[in-house]
């Protein structure tokens, strides 16, 4: 599915991180990519992050999956919502929803969360710290959007959900299948299912906090430093007062602290690996048997296809002699044919193997063996 009635440049100029936008069915032909039963099945599986929110009057209760298969049949008449994270990792048709949004760089895209709600179901008025496109897949949902919030905005006393204590809507719409609502970071919003079988696809974008970047970058640097790298003052002078920390000592200590932090090239390499670490690092997507260069070369002669793992995170940095490819937390220096191929891998979900790729076979083998790429073992229907 592609967006046909959507101006990406205008959207970025006028709306991105500025104000909400309702977009009425911009698709060439909208088709709901996942059935409710399939979503429920994912919520019952180990290793898949899922939540169930049940509303009782003016209060909400949260429970975490995996859920027993009969759980949803016992919920009764109370409005409820099932939310399953990273569904794009497991459902190719859901992963395809990300393709029209590639005008935002890959490193900013998080995942596709899918929700199913009974009549009146929702998660309550709240705000997020990231951009989100809310695509109505099935049924109807009434969205209300309010003012922009921040850390001082009052919240309800709830142990698990960050619900707004006071919510006043400034806009309200009912979304039908194919309709889409963009909500920038910080804007209050509340979605309530109108009727049964309400499914919403939430495309979320990552926005690392300054605090997290500082902590994780500094921790990485600290791990790389030898214990012998310590303060030294071979030119020390006799102290005028034993209690004073001399300005020269502060200068030296400060320089010790910030010197490595200011290495932009080292930061770029670290961030590429850090940012491309899989969302669920414990998931193992490696093939049962490692492949070799000879294996891929033989497959290339047969015109085989490699598929990009939807759960993989891929990005690159341009360098003077090529580029540095980041794939699932690992870095691969690339030049020449491998560099051109790395760009394609980041942009395309299918790669037809060809004997002309011989120079890049070692790169492709490494990506297959770590699970970033997968050999398409389905026979060509043609």
The residue among 104, 181, 114, 136 whose CA lies nearest residue 30 is 136
- Mean confidence (pLDDT) of the chain: 94
Contacts of 276 by beta carbon, 8 Å cutoff, 6+ apart: 107, 313, 314, 315, 326, 327, 328, 329, 330
Domains and CATH numbers, the chain: 8-205 (2.60.120.650), 210-232+247-262 (no CATH), 293-375 (3.40.366.30)
Cα 320 from Cα 92, distance rounded (Å): 36
The residue among 126, 196, 190 whose CA lies nearest residue 158 is 126
The residue among 146, 112, 142 whose CA lies nearest residue 126 is 146
Torsion on CA atoms 281, 46, 94, 330, rounded to nearest 10: 10
Helix (H, G, I), strand (E, B), or coil: what is residue 285? coil
The residue among 99, 102, 82, 100 whose CA lies nearest residue 42 is 82
**pTM for this structure?**
0.92
Mean pLDDT within 15-40: 96
The residue among 52, 49, 51 whose CA lies nearest residue 80 is 52
Helix (H, G, I), strand (E, B), or coil: what is residue 351? strand
Task: List pLDDT tens digits, range 266-295.
Answer: 999 999 999 999 999 899 999 999 999 999
pLDDT in the model for residue 166? 94
Cα 224 from Cα 203, distance rounded (Å): 36
The residue among 1, 76, 91, 75 whose CA lies nearest residue 42 is 91
Structure-block tokens of residue 32:
């709901």
Torsion on CA atoms 297, 303, 305, 306, rounded to nearest 10: 20
pLDDT band for 27, please (50, 70, 90 cuts).
very high
The residue among 118, 55, 49, 121 whose CA lies nearest residue 86 is 49
Torsion on CA atoms 34, 36, 42, 48, rounded to nearest 10: 80
Mean pLDDT within 117-129: 95
Contact 242, 274 (CB under 8 A): no
- Label residues 193-206 b or e (16+ Cβ within 10 Å = b): bbeebbbbbbbbbe
* CA angle, 293 then 299 then 300, to 5°: 85
Contact 88, 114 (CB under 8 A): no
User: Helices 361-369 and 337-347 sit at what angle, rounded to 10 degrees?
Assistant: 40
- How many other C-beta atoms lie within 10 A of the C-beta of residue 162? 14
Max mean pLDDT range (60-64, 282-286, 298-302, 368-372): 368-372
Residue 205 phi, psi dihedral angles, 5° rounding: -120, 140
Structure-block tokens of residue 35:
């059935």
pLDDT in the model for residue 380? 47
User: Helices 210-224 and 264-275 sit at what angle, rounded to 10 degrees?
Assistant: 110
Largest CA distance in the chain: 87
| Block residue for tokens 């030294």 | 232
What pairs with residue 202 in β-bridges?
A: 113, 134
Task: List pLDDT tens digits, range 135-187.
Answer: 999 999 999 999 999 999 999 988 889 999 999 999 999 999 999 999 999 99
Task: List pLDDT tens digits, range 330-355.
Answer: 999 999 999 999 999 999 999 999 99
pLDDT in the model for residue 316? 97
pLDDT in the model for residue 381? 45
Structure-block tokens of residue 150:
């921040």
The residue among 217, 17, 19 whose CA lies nearest residue 129 is 17
Structure-block tokens of residue 60:
């909400």
Task: List pLDDT tens digits, range 61-117.
Answer: 999 999 999 999 889 889 999 999 999 999 999 999 999 999 999 999 999 999 999
Residue 245 phi, psi dihedral angles, 5° rounding: -95, 110
- How many other C-beta atoms lie within 10 A of the C-beta of residue 288? 4
């Amino acid at each position: 599915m592609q967006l046909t009635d959507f101006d990406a440049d205008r959207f970025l100029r006028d709306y991105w991180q500025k104000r909400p936008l309702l977009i009425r069915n911009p698709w060439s032909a909208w088709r709901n990519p996942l059935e409710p039963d399939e979503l429920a099945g994912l919520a019952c599986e180990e290793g898949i992050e899922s939540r169930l929110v049940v509303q009782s009057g003016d209060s909400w209760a949260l429970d975490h999956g995996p859920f027993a298969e009969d759980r949803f049949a016992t919920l009764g008449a109370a409005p409820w919502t099932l939310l399953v994270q990273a569904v794009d990792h497991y459902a190719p048709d859901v992963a395809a929803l990300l393709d029209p949004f590639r005008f935002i760089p890959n490193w900013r895209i998080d995942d596709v969360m899918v929700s199913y709600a009974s009549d009146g179901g929702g998660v309550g008025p709240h705000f997020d710290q990231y951009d989100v496109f809310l695509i109505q897949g099935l049924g109807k949902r009434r969205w209300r959007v309010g003012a922009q919030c921040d850390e001082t905005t009052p919240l309800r006393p709830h142990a698990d959900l960050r619900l707004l204590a006071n919510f006043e809507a400034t806009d309200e719409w009912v979304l039908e299948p194919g309709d889409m609502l963009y909500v920038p970071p910080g804007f209050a919003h509340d979605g309530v299912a109108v009727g049964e079988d309400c499914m919403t696809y939430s495309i979320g974008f990552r926005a690392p906090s300054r605090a997290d970047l500082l902590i994780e970058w500094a921790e990485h640097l600290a791990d790389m430093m030898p214990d012998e790298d310590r303060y030294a003052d071979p030119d020390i002078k006799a102290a005028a007062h034993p209690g004073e920390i001399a300005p020269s000592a502060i200068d030296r200590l400060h320089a010790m602290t910030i010197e490595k932090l200011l290495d932009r090239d080292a930061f770029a390499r670290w961030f590429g690996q850090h940012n491309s670490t899989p969302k669920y690092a414990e998931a193992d997507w490696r093939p049962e048997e490692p492949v070799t260069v000879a294996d891929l070369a033989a497959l290339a002669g047969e015109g085989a296809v490699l598929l990009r793992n939807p759960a993989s995170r891929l990005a690159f940095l341009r360098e003077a002699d090529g580029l540095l490819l980041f794939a699932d937390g690992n870095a691969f220096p690339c030049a020449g044919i491998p560099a051109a191929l790395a760009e394609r891998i980041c942009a395309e979900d299918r790669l037809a193997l060809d004997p002309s790729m011989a120079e890049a076979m070692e790169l492709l083998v490494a990506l297959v063996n770590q699970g970033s790429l997968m050999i398409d073992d389905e026979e060509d229907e043609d």
